[in-house]
Structure formats: structure tokens, C-alpha cells
Structure 1
Amino acid sequence: MANLTNPRLIWIKGVLFLLLGLLASGILIARMTDFSTVALLAIAIWAFCRAYYFAFYVIERYVDPEYRFAGLIDFVRYAVLGRHSDRQDRATSDPTGP
């Protein structure tokens, strides 16, 4: 499958994600009668958004500007295996270096 490159379709996709999130949240909140559960849901959503921002903006802009992540699996691999583990593998196999 090719990458989505049309700006209009990218905006439509973003709006659809927003609507889906609002719909799912609205249904969950309508089913919950306890305010603390609704507050915990809001905190969880906020925290996951901040974690995603951290993984794809903070790390790439401030911690390691040379590294780019393709997705959450790449970020986990980077966080667990350490800095530039894929580049180190290439450097050991290539005697001329990176």
C-alpha cells in the first residue's frame, strides 16, 4: 500500500480520527455514571497523547536529532536496545565505518 500524500486526504483522515475518538469517548462517558471514572479516562487519554508526543517529537528534536522512528515498535526497539543499535550493527559489518 502506498503512502498517503494528498494533503486534503490527510486532513480528512485526521478529522475522522478526531470524530472516532470523540464518539468512543462520548459513548464511554454516557455509560459511566461515576465522575472519578470519567476523570481517570480523561487523564489516561491525556497521558497517552503526551507519551506519543514524547516518542515522536521530543526524542527526535532534543534527545537524538539524527534518529527517525517509523512507528511505536521502532521507538520501543530504540528505547530498549539503546541508541542507534541498527547503525552499530551496520558499522560492525562494514570495516569502513558509517
Structure 2
Amino acid sequence: MKIIRSRSFTPSRAWGALEIANMNGITTRLHWTDQPYKWHVNDGEEVFAVLDGRVEMRYREDGIERSTVLETGDVFYASVGTEHVAHPLGAARVLVVETQGSV
């Protein structure tokens, strides 16, 4: 059993993570960041939930770059093959559920 107080989690570097669970190869991790990530495609599906802060999520559909701002409580689902990158607007904490070892 674990209780995680996400608002008090701030690692030593951007995108530092606290692994919450690994359920048969699917990880759930809490991340803190104030820096953009990098363009990537995950090895599988990804669920990205903003717990604190705001994040501009940029993604490509049919070769066209698009973006949306995710507010606290919003969830972004990246299906297999979705190229995307997260740009926090200030500091943000996000919960990421994805295949273990994914980018």
C-alpha cells in the first residue's frame, strides 16, 4: 500500500520520476517538470494526466503539428504511433501510465 502526496514531490531534475506501480509491465509514475520533454513515440499506448499545473501538449496528426493546453485534471491519451512532446507552462506534476521501458 502507498499514499503519495503528489504536490510535495519535486525531484532534483526535470522529468524526474517516482515509480508508483508496475502492474505486469505497465508502469505508473509521477513526474515533476518545468522543462519540455522531447518529441517521441512510445512503444505502446500512454496515458498522461496533469495533476498540478498546465502543460502544452504538442502532437502530430497526419504530419501536421497541433497543440492543446492541458489544465489540472486533464488527460491526454497517446495511441500507438502518436508522436508528441509535453511543454509545461511553469512547473507541473503529471501522472504517466505506459509500458515499462517506454521512452
Q: Same fold (TM over 0.5)?
A: no
More strand per residue? 2
Provide the TM-score with structure 1 as the length reference: 0.22
Kindly name which structure, 1 or 2, has the bigger radius of gyration based on alpha carbons.
Answer: 1
Larger RCO (CA under 8 A, 6+ residues apart): 2
Provide the TM-score with structure 2 as the length reference: 0.21
